[in-house]
Each structure stands twice: as C-alpha cells, then as structure tokens.
C-alpha cells in the first residue's frame, strides 16, 4: 500500500488538484469513494469545481 493510501485513513476529505490524474491518484480517489469521504476537485489555478 502506498503512503498516499495509508494517509487517507487519517484524513477527513480528499483534495484533488489539476486535470491530469495519475494512476496513484486514481487509487486514492477510489479508496476515498469507498470510505464515503468527501472529495473536492480544484483546477490548476486553485478554483474549486
């Protein structure tokens, strides 16, 4: 298990930055969804959306 996935266990929500999603980010997003964790998406210019 990667450090990012381990850190999700102590997080309250996941923030995703930028439009390019790596394989590691995909795994973190999927785990956050399975945990019912809120996921917030931000553009590269820091705009939420």
pLDDT digits (tens, 9 = 90+) for 23-38: 999 999 999 999 999 9
Whether residue 41 has pLDDT greater than 90? yes
Report the C-alpha gap between 33 and 48 in whole angstroms. Answer: 18
Residue reference for tokens 């394989």: 23
> Could you tell me which of 14, 43, 45, 18 has the C-alpha nearest to residue 31?
14
Instruction: Give every CB contact of residue 13 below 8 A, 6+ residues apart in sequence.
Output: 32, 37, 38, 39, 40
> What's this model's pTM, rounded to 2 decimal places?
0.85
How distant, in Å, are the alpha carbons of 10, 18, 19, 32, 42 from that of 49? 24, 11, 11, 18, 6
């Amino acid at each position: 298990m990667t450090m990012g996935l381990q850190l999700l266990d102590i997080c309250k929500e996941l923030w995703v930055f930028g439009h390019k999603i790596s394989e590691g980010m995909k795994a973190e997003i999927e785990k956050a969804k399975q945990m019912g964790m809120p996921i917030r998406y931000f553009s590269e210019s820091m705009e939420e959306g």
